[in-house]
């Protein structure tokens, strides 16, 4: 039986405005998971845009254009974001696409046929910004209880369709207890478990007084959040291509921000059960990038332009910073100065200088030709590196995986300082010099392979400077064997991987 494709999803991004660095954070993490999975098998990464709802309609009206024209104008910007940061998406879904809307309507009809939805009257408070219904008891000073919103809510009274969410309370609690690791990190698990334990209300899943959404057969439109959640199965052929759907579902990792955990950790599993579908293997709600202790948000005016950031530091340096700076899952404070520090210290001085001086010495002493293989002192320390990095990256412990790679980076720098190739050359100790130069070049090959998921462009540049054909991709079980760098390979020293930055102009 063939191995199942590793299926990874990002949340689909709500396009009421321009993308910011927080969106990049999630998407880069998904891309690293995809690239890591490819070292052992096959992978499929899904991302996309959430384009319905009152907030989008209001933004389009303010711009004097239709909601469809508004989203059509913005989507290329979001697609360009993935390209700019080297993210390889296997599919990019838009909720305005016919393939998605067809599934949304089919799911609604299936839920109705199964008795999972019913028609009732909704009276309550609605936050347009969060596209969320709130009980009066949840409001804070009469406003939206979301601490990142706190906007005014409006009273709505409509006859709508309701999903029988409340009846899944006990099943959800039992599943959480039996599967303590399906939702991470632990803090989010604790929060969602407490929310379920305190009681659930049936969910209003349609709107009568909103026109911008997936139209239902009775002239209502689907509630934007239910519409959005269904992208994860509409994109892989649910109800249309059963064999394709079964090849991917259940998802292996669904990455989300912790602010949307309720939808993915309470509503989504109940909805899947209502459709007799298995739950994703892991939902991971990562933390926020903060500025001066506050989450980045358009309303605060503290969002960071990711395109400008990539233009200044390079996309790979930004990828590295975001995944090395803090444990994935926790909030962490962003600043341009912190990126600069990582760029200069880790990337410029540690890695970039290692590559540059290693290949410069090979050019000086051996005409850029890799010498013969010799016994290495690095074989034993490095032999488990691939396993360590794979387990860390696949487990979303990106910082720990990078720490393991940097042990080899530091080890090679230390090797050069301690054994002094220049002294060996001066003393005419050719065999010792050959052994050392091979050891260094082979170590660089390993580093390029292990860094490819994090920094694909720079790993490719390392690979090319080592004179190797193709890409630094493939099976780590086969490629991370010591001594596979062919003797006689002509290296091609190139420009510094991380050139010195010439200005300190803040990124807008």
Domain containing 346 equals 336-479
In this predicted model, what pLDDT tens digit does every residue of 163-181 receive, in sequence order?
999 999 999 999 999 999 9
Rounded to whole angstroms, the maximal C-alpha distance in the chain is 90
CA distances (Å), 265 to each of 180, 253, 281, in order? 12, 13, 12
The answer, yes or no, to whether residue 208 has pLDDT greater than 90, is no
What is the chain's percent helix, strand, coil content, to nearest 5?
Answer: 50, 15, 35
Q: What dihedral angle (degrees, nearest 10) is formed by the CA atoms of 95, 99, 104, 107?
A: -150
Return the pLDDT at 474.
Answer: 97
The answer to whether residue 363 is domain-embedded is yes
Return the pLDDT at 508.
Answer: 42
The answer, yes or no, to whether residue 266 has pLDDT greater than 90, is yes
The answer to whether residue 146 is domain-embedded is no
Share of the chain above pLDDT 70, in %: 95
Return the pLDDT at 55.
Answer: 87
The answer to whether residue 320 is domain-embedded is no
The answer, yes or no, to whether residue 429 has pLDDT greater than 70, is yes
Return the pLDDT at 506.
Answer: 46
Say which CATH number the domain at 410 has. Answer: 1.10.730.10
Rounded to whole angstroms, how far apart are CA atoms 497 and 500? 10
Rounded to whole angstroms, how far apart are CA atoms 69 and 409? 50
Tokens representing residue 252 in the block: 């292996």
Return the pLDDT at 293.
Answer: 66
The answer to whether residue 380 is domain-embedded is yes
This model's pTM is above 0.85: yes
Say if CB 279 and CB 178 are below 8 A apart: no
In this predicted model, what pLDDT tens digit does every residue of 133-155 receive, in sequence order?
777 878 888 898 887 788 888 88
In this predicted model, what pLDDT tens digit does every residue of 17-59 receive, in sequence order?
788 888 899 999 999 999 999 999 999 999 999 999 888 998 8
Who's near 275: CB < 8 A, 6+ residues apart? 107, 110, 111
Return the pLDDT at 299.
Answer: 64
The answer to whether residue 473 is domain-embedded is yes
Rounded to whole angstroms, how far apart are CA atoms 308 and 299? 20
Return the pLDDT at 290.
Answer: 82
In this predicted model, what pLDDT tens digit does every residue of 93-129 receive, in sequence order?
999 999 999 999 999 999 999 999 999 987 778 887 7
Return the pLDDT at 332.
Answer: 85
- Interior angle at CA 306, CA 305 and CA 309, nearest 5: 90
The answer to whether residue 357 is domain-embedded is yes
The answer to whether residue 375 is domain-embedded is yes
In this predicted model, what pLDDT tens digit does every residue of 84-94 receive, in sequence order?
999 999 999 99
Q: Is 327 exposed, middle or buried, given 0-12, 13-18 or 19+ CB atoms closer than 10 A? A: middle
The answer, yes or no, to whether residue 3 has pLDDT greater than 80, is no
User: For residue 355, which of 504, 464, 434, 252 has the smallest C-alpha distance?
Assistant: 464
Element (H, E) at 317: helix 315-324
The answer, yes or no, to whether residue 261 has pLDDT greater than 50, is yes
Say if CB 221 and CB 197 are below 8 A apart: no
The answer to whether residue 401 is domain-embedded is yes
In this predicted model, what pLDDT tens digit does every residue of 475-496 receive, in sequence order?
999 999 999 999 999 999 999 9
In this predicted model, what pLDDT tens digit does every residue of 356-377 receive, in sequence order?
999 999 999 999 999 998 887 7
Return the pLDDT at 300.
Answer: 67
Q: Strand 206-207 relative to strand 221-222: parallel, antiparallel, unpaired?
A: antiparallel
Return the pLDDT at 353.
Answer: 97
Say if CB 215 and CB 230 are below 8 A apart: no
Residue entry with tokens 């002192």: 377
* Residue 134, number of CB atoms within 10 A of its CB: 18
pLDDT band at 1; cut points 50, 70, 90: very low
**What is the domain count for the chain?**
1
The DSSP 8-state label assigned to residue 396 in this structure reads T
Return the pLDDT at 505.
Answer: 47
In this predicted model, what pLDDT tens digit does every residue of 444-467 receive, in sequence order?
999 999 999 999 999 999 999 999
């Amino acid at each position: 039986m063939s191995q199942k494709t590793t299926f990874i999803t990002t949340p689909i991004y709500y396009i009421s405005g321009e993308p910011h660095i927080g969106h990049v954070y999630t998407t880069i993490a998904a891309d690293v998971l995809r690239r890591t999975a490819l070292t052992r098998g096959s992978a499929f990464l899904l991302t996309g845009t959430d384009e319905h709802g009152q907030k989008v309609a209001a933004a389009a009206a303010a711009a004097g254009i239709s909601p469809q024209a508004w989203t059509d104008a913005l989507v290329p910007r979001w697609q360009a974001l993935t390209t700019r940061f080297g993210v390889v998406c296997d599919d990019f879904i838009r909720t305005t696409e016919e393939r998605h809307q067809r599934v949304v309507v089919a799911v609604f009809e299936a839920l109705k046929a199964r008795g999972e939805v019913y028609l009732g009257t909704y009276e309550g408070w609605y936050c347009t910004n969060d596209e969320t219904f709130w009980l009066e008891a949840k409001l804070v000073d009469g406003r939206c209880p979301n601490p990142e919103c706190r906007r005014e809510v409006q009273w709505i009274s409509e006859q709508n369709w309701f999903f029988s969410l409340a009846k899944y309370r006990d099943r959800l609690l039992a599943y959480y207890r039996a599967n303590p690791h399906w939702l991470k990190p632990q803090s989010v698990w604790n929060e969602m478990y407490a929310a379920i334990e305190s009681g659930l209300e049936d969910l209003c899943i349609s709107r009568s007084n909103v026109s911008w959404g997936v139209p239902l057969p009775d002239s209502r439109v689907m509630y934007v959040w239910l519409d959005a959640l269904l992208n994860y199965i509409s994109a892989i052929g649910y109800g249309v291509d059963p064999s394709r759907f079964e090849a991917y579902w259940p998802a292996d990792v669904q990455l989300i921000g912790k602010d949307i955990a309720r939808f993915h950790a309470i509503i989504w599993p109940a909805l899947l059960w209502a459709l007799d579908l298995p739950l994703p293997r892991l939902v991971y709600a990562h933390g926020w990038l903060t500025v001066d202790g506050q989450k980045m948000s358009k309303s605060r005016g503290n969002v960071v332009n990711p395109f400008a950031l990539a233009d200044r530091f390079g996309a790979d340096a930004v990828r590295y910073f975001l995944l090395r700076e803090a444990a994935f899952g926790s909030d962490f404070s962003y600043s341009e100065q912190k990126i600069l520090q990582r760029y200069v210290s880790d990337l410029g001085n540690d890695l970039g200088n290692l590559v540059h001086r290693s290949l410069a010495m090979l050019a000086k002493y051996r005409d850029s030709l890799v010498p013969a293989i010799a016994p290495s002192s690095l074989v034993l320390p490095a032999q488990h590196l691939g396993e360590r990095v794979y387990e860390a990256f696949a487990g979303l412990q990106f910082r720990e995986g990078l720490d393991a790679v940097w042990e080899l980076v530091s080890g090679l720098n230390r090797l050069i300082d301690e054994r002094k190739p220049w002294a060996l050359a001066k003393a005419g100790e050719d065999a010792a010099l050959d052994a050392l130069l091979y050891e260094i070049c082979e170590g660089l090959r390993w580093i390029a392979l292990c860094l490819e998921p994090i920094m694909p462009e720079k790993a490719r540049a390392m690979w090319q400077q080592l004179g190797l054909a193709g890409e630094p991709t493939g099976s780590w079980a086969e490629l991370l064997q010591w001594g596979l760098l062919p003797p006689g390979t002509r290296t091609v020293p190139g420009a510094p991987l991380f050139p010195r930055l010439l200005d300190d102009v803040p990124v807008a």
